[in-house]
Amino acid sequence: MIVAVAAGQLVVLFFSSLVIAYSGALMPGPMLTVVVVESPRHGAKAGPLVVLGHAILELALLGALVVGLGHLLERGSFKAAIALIGGAMLVWTAASMIAAVARDKVELDWQADARGRRMRMVLSGVISSLSNPYWTIWWATIGLGLLTKAYAAGVAGVAVFYVGHILGDLTWYSAVSGTIAAGRRFITVRVYKVMLCAAAAFLLALAAWFIVSGVRFVT
């Protein structure tokens, strides 16, 4: 009976983590923008590679929370710093995209990804997560609450929580990159430039929101 109850708790924890992960992944943000922009060049691999970087970062954060650093995420000063730094990173990313279009340095490479390019995609997953201050806020609120329940179930609970969370991101972003890759024969350089400009505009709007939020945290 005890084993059945424990297994039932793990199943509930897994699906709770999975559904909540979808609720976050479906919201537009820097990570989705990276996947959309990189999929025409890197194909269906873009989604999984970006999620790999995201997963590595979240594993490190999960370890930090388990050893008791969760209180740091709850501090207003920390949230303000993350929001302002994240906003600045998004402005820089958007400016780089606009500059590439303006200088006509946009290319579509249909060849298989080299190792260096794959590593850059993984790094993009890390950077796009760090540049989103609401990723930190999510972990300081919803994530920390779920982790508390998972921790009560022991190592298995924490592992199930993490797997469910990452699986939500992986399936969604893989579907996005796979869909774009399937239709990328229709994406010309001109269309890709439009995609880059639209993504840059979105990132600038998001950056403004983050910076305003950071200022509010300070005041």
Tens digit of pLDDT for each residue in 134-191?
Answer: 787 778 777 777 777 788 788 888 899 999 999 999 999 999 999 888 887 777 778 7
Range of the domain at 68: 2-24+41-218
Please check whether residue 35 lies inside any domain of the structure.
no
What's the pTM? 0.77
Please check whether residue 29 lies inside any domain of the structure.
no
pLDDT tens string 15-49:
888 888 887 777 778 888 889 888 888 888 999 99
pLDDT for position 149 = 77
Which residues, 6+ apart, have CB-to-CB distance to 103 below 8 Å? Answer: none
Taking Cα atoms as reference points, which of 58, 179, 206 lies closest to residue 125?
58
Please check whether residue 116 lies inside any domain of the structure.
yes
∠ CA 44-197-133, nearest 5°, is: 75
pLDDT for position 64 = 83
Residue showing tokens 């006509």: 104
**Alpha-carbon span 131 to 210, nearest angstrom:** 10
Mean pLDDT to the nearest integer, 57-66: 86
Please check whether residue 31 lies inside any domain of the structure.
no
Please check whether residue 32 lies inside any domain of the structure.
no
Please check whether residue 186 lies inside any domain of the structure.
yes
pLDDT tens string 66-89:
777 767 666 777 777 777 887 888
Taking Cα atoms as reference points, which of 125, 126, 159, 163 lies closest to residue 42?
125
pLDDT for position 103 = 83
Structure tokens at 189: 């350089």
**Alpha-carbon span 14 to 165, nearest angstrom:** 8
Please check whether residue 75 lies inside any domain of the structure.
yes
Give me the number of domains the chain comprises.
1
pLDDT for position 54 = 93
Decide if pLDDT at 1 tops 70. no
Task: Please provide the DSSP assignment of the chain as one string.
Answer: -HHHHHHHHHHHHHHHHHHHHHHHHTS--HHHHHHHHHHHHHGGGHHHHHHHHHHHHHHHHHHHHHTT-HHHHT-HHHHHHHHHHHHHHHHHHHHHHHHHHHTT------SPPPHHHHHHHHHHHHHHHHT-HHHHHHIIIIIHHHHHHHHHT-HHHHHHHHHHHHHHHHHHHHHHHHHHHHTGGG--HHHHHHHHHHHHHHHHHHHHHHHHHHHHHH-
Please check whether residue 70 lies inside any domain of the structure.
yes
